[in-house]
Amino acid sequence: MGRGSEAWNDMATFIVAFAVALLMGAVVIAATGSSPWDAYRAALRAAAGSGYRFLNTLCNTTVLIMTGMACSVAFNSGIQNIGAEGQLYLGAFAAAMAGLIRGIPAFVHVPLTLAVAACAGAVWALMPGILRASRGTNEVVVTLMMNYIAVLLCSYFVNYPFRNAAATWPETAMIEASARLPYLHPLSRFNGSFFVALACVVMIVFINRRTRTGYEWRMVGLNERACTVAGIVPGKVMLQAMIVSGAIAGLAGGAEVIGVRHRFMDAFSPGYGMTGVLIALVARNNPVSVALVAFIFSLVKTGAGGMELVADVPAELSEILLTLIVFMLAAQRSLRGTLRAARTQQHAGR
């Protein structure tokens, strides 16, 4: 089976899982006494009912694309980076600090701020990558623990030494205008960071399909031991992928600061990093699928507010829908694997 047909099969599987999740969600909505039709219509209207609402949904998609891409790069290379949340936080804080530097022209300040954010994320990913590559340490445990350290460290910084005394909520001062990406619609928060996210997708697609680095990432991800026959050093490849993964997660935080919030705020992330893990798993580490799945996740989460406001359906239903999508995908893929194994065994018996 070719790569193209496999991607189409994955997309068809996702569409079926999404449709089944919507049907199951409709049952839950009906059980609460509300109209599923009114609820879903309100959700769609809130997420894409007008130009500026659709642009806001794309704005919310931006950070999910980048955290999903960060996780997919690592997962595709056989190293499990569950630390995108911490890398996102440090990238955002580093961007806020770089954005406070005065006297830099915008055409230098914006790239500089994003580069600092990417470097912060990469540095935070470096330690678990080194431990995994050199000592075989479980990177899932290390990256999870480092998430807490990063979030609490940034919280300390923004509550004490770098807090804006004039603000009621713990946050830094507003970054310089030269470091900001302007909003591209007067009624929307949509900004140029969305195109940064798309550039990340294009870059990873190119690396995966056209470069030796991408080939080595895939080979190590498929079979860490067997790839040594081809002269590939798994530890080196994993460390390289981990650094790229951390850089993209840090870039996501930086893009959120310079494109949306224009400052670092305590507890600004509702779990973007962990959502990125889910997106990468659902998309099976395919960069294009990551972007599409991130858009669907954003559509559901943005529409949840409309459901609650118009149809009196709790916004938490969006989390139920996303969980059902993941559950249905897992069930379908498990069933497909079981059927494939049964067919293989049947052919072998002949």
261-302 pLDDT per residue, tens: 999 999 999 999 999 999 998 888 999 989 988 998 999 888
For the chain, first and last CA: distance in Å? Answer: 23
The pLDDT value given to residue 153: 97
For domain 56-324, which architecture applies?
Orthogonal Bundle (1.10)
Structural contact between residues 247 and 42, judged by C-beta atoms closer than 8 angstroms? no
Whether 72 has a pLDDT exceeding 80, the answer reads yes
Q: Where in the chain are the domains?
A: 56-324
Q: Which residues contact 186 (CB under 8 A, 6 or more apart)?
A: none
Q: Which of 47-56, 147-156, 176-185, 321-330 has the lowest mean pLDDT?
A: 321-330
Statement: residue 8 has pLDDT above 70: no
How much is the pTM?
Answer: 0.91
Distance CA 1, CA 326 (A): 24
Q: Mean of the pLDDT values across residues 34-46? A: 88
Mean per-residue pLDDT over the chain, rounded? 89
| Distance set, CA 187 to CA 123, 184, 192, 342 (Å) | 37, 9, 15, 55
Answer yes or no: is pLDDT of 127 > 70: yes
The pLDDT of 323-336, averaged and rounded, is 71
| pLDDT attached to residue 212 | 93
Q: What pLDDT score does 337 carry?
A: 61
Per-residue pLDDT, 266: 96
3-state secondary structure of 183: strand
CA gap 318, 324 in Å, rounded: 10
- Which are the contacts of 205, defined by CB distance < 8 A and separation ≥ 6? 287, 288
Helix (H, G, I), strand (E, B) or coil at 171: strand
Can you say whether the dihedral through the CA atoms of 56, 60, 61, 66 is positive or negative?
positive
Mean pLDDT of 214-233: 88
**pLDDT score of 318:** 75
The pLDDT value given to residue 341:
62
How do residues 138-197 score in pLDDT, each as one tens digit? 999 999 999 999 999 999 999 999 999 999 999 999 999 999 999 998 889 999 999 999
Report whether pLDDT(1) > 60.
Answer: no
Under the banding of pLDDT at 50, 70 and 90, the label for residue 3 is low
Q: What is the mean pLDDT of residues 116-141?
A: 95
Q: What is the mean pLDDT of residues 213-229?
A: 89
**241 — pLDDT class (breaks 50, 70, 90):** very high
pLDDT at 340: 65
Which ranges of 185-263 does DSSP label H, i.e. alpha helix? 193-210, 212-222, 234-256
